[in-house]
A and B are shown apart, each in its own frame.
Chain A
Amino acid sequence: MSQDSQWPVWEVFLQANPGISHKHVGNVHAADAEMAIQNARDVYTRRSEGISIWVVPANAIAASSPEDQGAFFEPSNDKPYRHPTFYKIPDGVKYL
Chain B
Amino acid sequence: MEDAKQLEAFEAKIAAGQKIEPKDWMPEAYRKQLVRMMSQHAHSEIVGMLPEGNWITRAPSLRRKAILLAKVQDEAGHGLYLYSAVETLGVDRTELLKQLHNGTAKYSSIFNYPTLSWADIGAIGWLVDGAAIMNQTALARGSYGPYSRAMVRICKEESFHNRQGYEIMMTLAQGTPEQKALAQDALNRWWWPAVMMLGPSDDQSPNTDQLMRWKVKMESNDAIRERFIDRTVPQAEFIGLSVPDKDMKFNKETGHYTHGPINWDEFFQVIKGNGPCNANRLKARADADKNGAWVREAAMAYAAKQMKEKEVA
Contact = CB atoms under 8 A, between A and B. Distances in A.
Interface in A26-41: 26-29, 31-32, 35
A4 B293 contact: yes
B94 interface: yes
Contact of A6 (B153, B296, B306): B296
Contacts of B303: 31-32
B23 A5 contact: no
Contact of B81 (A3, A26, A29, A31): A26
A6 B297 contact: no
Contacts of B306: 32
A29 B93 contact: yes
Given A26-B84, A27-B84, A31-B300, A6 B93 contact: yes
B92 interface: yes
A66 interface: yes
A65 B299 contact: no
Contacts of B81: 26
B120 to A, nearest CB: 24
Given A4-B297, A6-B296, A35-B299, A66 B25 contact: yes
Nearest to B300: A31
B80 interface: yes
B73 A6 contact: no
Interface residues of B, number: 28
Nearest to B87: A9
A3 B294 CA distance: 10
A66 B13 CA distance: 13
Contacts of B94: 4-6
A2 B299 contact: no
Interface string B92-112: 111001000000000000000
A70 to B, nearest CB: 13
Interface size class on chain A is: 20 to 34
Contacts of B245: none
A65 B87 contact: no
Contacts of A46: 70, 73-74, 77
Interface in B48-83: 70, 73-74, 77, 80-81
A47 interface: yes
Interface in A1-45: 2-7, 9, 26-29, 31-32, 35, 43
Contacts of B302: 31-32
B93 to A, nearest CB: 4
24 contacts: A2-B294, A2-B297, A3-B297, A3-B300, A4-B94, A4-B296, A5-B94, A6-B92, A6-B93, A7-B296, A7-B299, A26-B81, A26-B150, A27-B84, A31-B299, A31-B302, A32-B299, A32-B303, A35-B299, A43-B80, A47-B157, A65-B23, A66-B23, A66-B25
Interface of B: 21, 23-25, 70, 73-74, 77, 80-81, 84, 87, 92-94, 97, 150, 153, 157, 293-294, 296-297, 299-300, 302-303, 306
Given A4-B94, A6-B93, 7 more contacts: A2-B293, A5-B296, A6-B92, A7-B296, A32-B303, A46-B74, A65-B23
Interface of A: 2-7, 9, 26-29, 31-32, 35, 43, 46-47, 63, 65-66
5 closest A-B pairs (Cβ-Cβ)? A31-B299, A32-B303, A6-B93, A31-B303, A6-B94
